[in-house]
Structure 1
Amino acid sequence: MRTIALFRQSLFSRANPNFSAWVVIVSLFALAIPKTLTAQANPAGVKKADLSAFGLYSRLTPDYGPQKNNGITFGIDYTRYTRWWVNPSIEFRAKIANGTTVDEKSWGGGIRVEKPINHWHPYADFLLSAGTINYHLQTPAILPNGKPYIDDATITKSFGGGLDYDLTPRFALRGDMQFEKWHLDKYTPIYLTPYAWSVGVVYRIPFRSFNR
């Protein structure tokens, strides 16, 4: 119950985005532990889950200034195989996208669902992340404490989806699109809606075979 209370508090607190993101990640990890232990205790050794890592090139529209940013996105997915119409996952990802006007970085986690169709794996996700933005301004605004306003931080919400295509049983190509919502209020309230498309590779960590 304490973990749930901290998680709810993190959604409304902007005082410490990094702490809030850690609460989100720990909560998601705690939810995954019982299922992982169940899979490991399976006497038949039947695989009930999958772990994959991905690395992507990202092209970000930061919603601040005319320039677009080049960057990278990387992370891991823990997927449970079920009898449902879709397979649920817990995803952790980070994005680093620097540009001439602003740099945007985020890291966090959330939920993801996919529907395998032969070699194709369409998916959708919803993520909560700790986001930071750094401004490259010649004359930055001055905060009430006398310091220049050159960066800000918040909890970001993002939703999106994509498509994986299997090249081999271990490797797949990925196309990904994410839409984000930022609320910055260190100097004056600013609402940003960045979005990014990404392409790259997924690697599925080998496990014992799973009999569907």
Structure 2
Amino acid sequence: MRRKLMMAPILVLFFMGAGLKARAQVTYSAEEGKLPFTVGAGVTDISDDWGYENPRQVGITMWVDWRLPFMPPVLQGLGIEFEGRDVNYATPSNLPGHRMDTGLGGPVYQWRRKSRVRPFAKYLMGIGSIDFPNGTTYSHDTRAVFEPGGGADVRVWKSFSVRGEYDYQFWHQIFGPHDLTPNGYTFGAVYDFGLRSR
């Protein structure tokens, strides 16, 4: 008997609620689109950390950033970056044949708020290949490379941004007990597939 008495008010509330006008959300619930990744390329000016003169070289860098979906608000912007770099241009005359290639990946965090400027920090790990002049047959080596870095993307038009970053690499104990620490700046352009244009 009690069930029948409770069921009647529940059914009345249900049908009253079904008859009310439904309203849609009129603003975006998030900033991300369907594809949460960014691709881009840039030009690198890097200090080789080589010898007493510490020469600089130019290279090409490519990025692919993938942001982890469905993260709690404090972790939105956490993702994985893959970076490929070829430092092979503007080689100093005292280092003929000098070249550094790296393929790295690791965590990246970008502060993705409603601003045109989106700073980021990253720590990448991977493999590096180096060719260097030497009087012997030993003129190439491959090592694990670690790279902390940071920078910012500045949106210029819809999903296109310019990127500037500073990276500091560690090639552990490549020539004895000391690390090779090339470091430098990269400037380029990126396209964000997940950014909503407003």
Matched, 1:61 2:47: yes
For each residue in 1:175-199, what CA deviation from the matched residue of structure 2 results, as whole angstroms up to 9, or x when unmatched? 01101110245x7454211102010
Q: Which amino acid aligns with 1:104?
A: M
Does residue 173 of structure 1 match 2:159? no
Alignment of 1:148-163 (within 5 A): 148-163=137-152
How far residue 103 of structure 1 moved from its aligned partner, in angstroms, is 1.0
Q: What's the TM-score, normalizing by structure 2?
A: 0.71
What do residues 84-134 of structure 1 show as CA deviations (whole Å, max 9, x unaligned)?
165101110111102232211100200000113411100000000101110
Task: Pick from 111, 122, 130 the counterpart of residue 133 of structure 1.
Answer: 130
- Structure 1 runs of 4+ aligned residues shifted over 6 Å read none
Q: 2:92 aligned with 1:104, yes or no?
A: no
| 2:16 paired residue number | none
Partner Cα separation in structure 2 for residue 135 and residue 194 of structure 1: 14
The question of 1:193 aligning with 2:189 is answered no
2:122 paired with 1:122:
no
Q: Contact 1:104–1:134 (CA<8 Å) still a contact in 2?
A: yes
TM-score computed with the length of structure 1 as normaliser: 0.66
Alpha-carbon distance in structure 1 between the residues aligned to 2:120 and 2:107: 11
**Structure index of larger Rg:** 2
Gaps of 5+ in 1: 1-45, 141-147
Rounded to whole Å, the distance in 2 between the matches of 1:175 and 1:160 is: 11
The 1-side partners of 2:102 and 2:162 are apart by 23
What is the distance in 2 between the residues matched to 1:105 and 1:90? Answer: 20
- Tell me the residue number matched to 2:25: none
Q: For the Cα contact (< 8 Å) 1:49–1:80, is it kept in 2?
A: no
Select 2:80's aligned residue among 90, 100, 103: 90
The answer to whether the 8 Å contact 1:154/1:184 transfers is no
Q: Distance in 2 between matches of 1:170 and 1:206?
A: 8
| Separation of aligned partners in 2, 1:112 and 1:202 | 15
Kindly report the root-mean-square deviation, in angstroms, between the aligned alpha carbons of the 2 structures: 2.3
How many residue pairs are counted as aligned between the two chains?
155
Q: Distance in 2 between matches of 1:126 and 1:104?
A: 19
Q: Which amino acid aligns with 1:171?
A: F
Q: 3-state SS of the aligned residue for 2:74?
A: coil
Q: Deviations over 1:24-81 (max 9, x none)?
A: xxxxxxxxxxxxxxxxxxxxxx846511101010001111133211001102000135
Which deviates more from structure 2 when the two are superposed, residues 148-157 or residues 82-91? 82-91
The alpha-carbon deviation at position 169 of structure 1 amounts to 2.3
Identity %: 23
